[in-house]
Each structure stands twice: as C-alpha cells, then as structure tokens.
Amino acid sequence: MMLFEQTLVIVKPDGIAKGLVGEILLNLSLNGLRVTDSVRMQLPQHLVEKLYGEEREEIYFTEVVNWVSSGTVLLLRVEGIGAVSKVKWDIIGRYPNGMRGKYSENWIKNVAHVPDSLRSAERELCLMDDLFREERMKNQKNFQGKMVFALTGMSECGKSTVGKYLDSRGVRRLKIVRLFGKVKERLAPDSNEDLRGWVNKGEASDPYALWDVFLDELLQEMETLETSMASIESLYGGGLGLYLRQRLADHFCIVYVEIPLEIRLQRQMIREGLSDFGQAKLILLPRDEIKAKSGIPALKEIAGEVIDNSGTLEDLYAAVDAMIARYRC
C-alpha cells in the first residue's frame, strides 16, 4: 500500500533553460500529486554541497555542485500518494525513461534533482525548509491587510454580475486579461504575438515564471488603486488558481459562481431573444465545452466559496454581502 508522502524537486538550470517546468507540473498533476511550496532562486554553493553531501566521494560531486549552483533553479515541495517513487521513477525517470530519458545531456545536466528514498526526501526537504518558509513569509507580508477574490464558473453563470456588485461594495474589479497584458508589456514589450497565444506559450514552458510577474502586477495594481480588497475575472484552469492559493494562503479565495444548466439556458434565451432551448444550446454548450477542457469545473473542488446564482438578483447580492463580511480585512 502506497503512503501519503512529501518529496523535493529541484528543476536544474538546464531544465529551466529548456522550458520544462510546465511539463513537469503537468506530469505531477496527471500523477495525482500537487505542489505545496515553490521557490525560484540561485542556490548558494554551500547549500548544494549539503544537498549532495552523501555523494561527496563520487567523481561527479564537484561538477554537479557547480552546475546546480550556477544559475536559477526552481524548488518544489510536492505531496501525494507515493510521491517519492512517482516523481523519481515515473516522472523524472532515468535513461531511457521519463523526462531524463527525453531531455538529459549527461549525468549532470539531466533536467532535475529528486531524492530516491523517503529518508532522502525528508533530509533534503529539511535542508530547504527555511527557503520555502521565507518565500511564504514574503508573500504574506506583501499582501498583509489585503484580500483577493478570483471569480470563476461556467458560461453565463453571472461572474460579471458578481464582479460589478463587488466593485460597488468597495471590492475593486480587476480583469485577469488586463493584468496579463501588463505582464506581456513587461516581459516581451516588442512581441507582436496575440496575448492569449503568448500566455499559453509561457504557461506551457514555465508557468511559475509567468505567474510570479502576474502576482507582482496584481499587487502593484491594488496599491495603485489604494484598495485592500479586489476581485479578478475570469479565473481559468486549475494552475493559476492553485498557484495563487499556494502563494497568498488566507489572502486569496476562489469564488465559484454556480448555476444549473437549465437556468443558464433560460436566461440565455431571454437575453438573446431566442425562441427555444435548442437555439440557446447551440450558443452555450460549445462555450461550456471549452471551459470544461480548460479545467473550470475542477476549480469548484478547491473553491473557498461557492455562490448559488439560481435565485433572484437580491438573493445573489445577499450571498455576496455575506461573503464580503466573512473576508473583510
């Protein structure tokens, strides 16, 4: 029987340079594992020496220490059933299997470092624990006294209505697409690529690098607006939501706006002046399919708040008011 475990992943400089972070994160998710802490930094050489301390007598010791400490790496704390074995052998692997089989240049430049036993995982996580804690404290300090709601849900669920009402109650309404636009201006000011394509490419190669800058832009926007509470629309997929929850903890809440399909279709008919459900389905269901593929339904499982929008507008506003009261800083 496999046990619930924690392990460490250090994406090496070659893994970063090759844009393999997105593939690693995807494989972790597909194997039922989740990231609970992350730090992007250049590790000091003395810490890397401790990391590989049990291999000090190996001929490659100096070379691997020099390489891992030579540039930016990404540290991930990963947890789940059988995490140590799954990460070491099923995901990162060894030639000809796993990501090392696909991307390694040699024994040193081989994508990522991962421990090979539960004992090693516990020792290595202990070594890195201060780095993870400092990263958490930094984000908590940056968002001290602030609260961010991320609005999500299926097509025509009422996210915009909730966002507008939150804005009227002093919770400033921010658009995720506008924030990502600022990220693009900052990271790729000369790029002519459309925003969605650029974001998709960034999330496929190194989502944490992209999301770190997104988080900076979110903080700057709240400070510019001099607001302690904000909502962001529209949260798509599970990755960004999980990342923001990991980074901001109690300063972040996913709000899933729920409404049965039949009621959404009825409201679509009224709004578009349609005569039957069939016409409404032709408009709504393809959009639902896109949202389902992007992971929207899964966000309900990790949402801090699920708001029922199947009643009257007054019912919806009352639910939102109650939510604001629970989270007001």
- Reported as a pLDDT band with limits 50, 70 and 90, residue 329 is low
If DSSP states are collapsed to H, E and C, what string results for 76-102? EEEEEECHHHHHHHHHHCCCCCHHHHH
**Measured torsion, CA atoms of residues 122, 142, 72, 85, in degrees rounded to the nearest 10:** 30
Helix (H, G, I), strand (E, B) or coil at 233: strand
126 to each of 77, 115, 123, 203, 276, how far by Cα in Å?
A: 11, 12, 5, 29, 62
Cα(248)–Cα(315) distance, integer angstroms: 29
> Which residue of the set 88, 113, 247, 291 is catalytic?
113
Task: Tell me if 155 sits within 8 A of 287, measured CB to CB.
Answer: yes
Nearest partner of 242 among 129, 79, 114, 98, judged by Cα = 79
**Measured torsion, CA atoms of residues 111, 112, 115, 121, in degrees rounded to the nearest 10:** -160
Mean residue pLDDT of the chain comes to: 94
Task: Tell me if 37 sits within 8 A of 243, measured CB to CB.
Answer: no
Residues 6+ away with beta carbon under 8 Å from 53: none
Domain 143-327: give its CATH code: 3.40.50.300
pLDDT at 66 (0 to 100): 98
Task: Tell me if 171 sits within 8 A of 228, measured CB to CB.
Answer: no
Q: What is the pLDDT of residues 52-70, one digit of tens each?
A: 999 999 999 999 999 999 9
The single-letter DSSP state of residue 43 is P
pLDDT at 238 (0 to 100): 64
Cα(187)–Cα(217) distance, integer angstroms: 12
Instruction: Report the amino acid identity of residue 197.
Output: G
Q: What is the pLDDT of residues 129-183, one digit of tens each?
A: 999 999 999 998 999 999 999 999 998 899 999 999 999 999 999 999 999 999 9
pLDDT above 70: residue 212:
yes
Give the fold, CATH level 3, of 4-138. Answer: Alpha-Beta Plaits (3.30.70)
Helix H or strand E segment including 4: strand 4-11
Length of the chain: 329
Nearest partner of 36 among 7, 60, 68, judged by Cα = 7
113 an active-site residue?
A: yes
In the chain, where the domains are located: 4-138, 143-327
Which ranges of the chain would DSSP assign to H, the alpha helix? 13-17, 21-30, 45-51, 61-68, 83-85, 98-103, 118-142, 159-168, 176-187, 195-205, 207-224, 239-248, 261-272, 277-293, 296-302, 313-327
Q: Is the pTM of this model over 0.95?
A: no
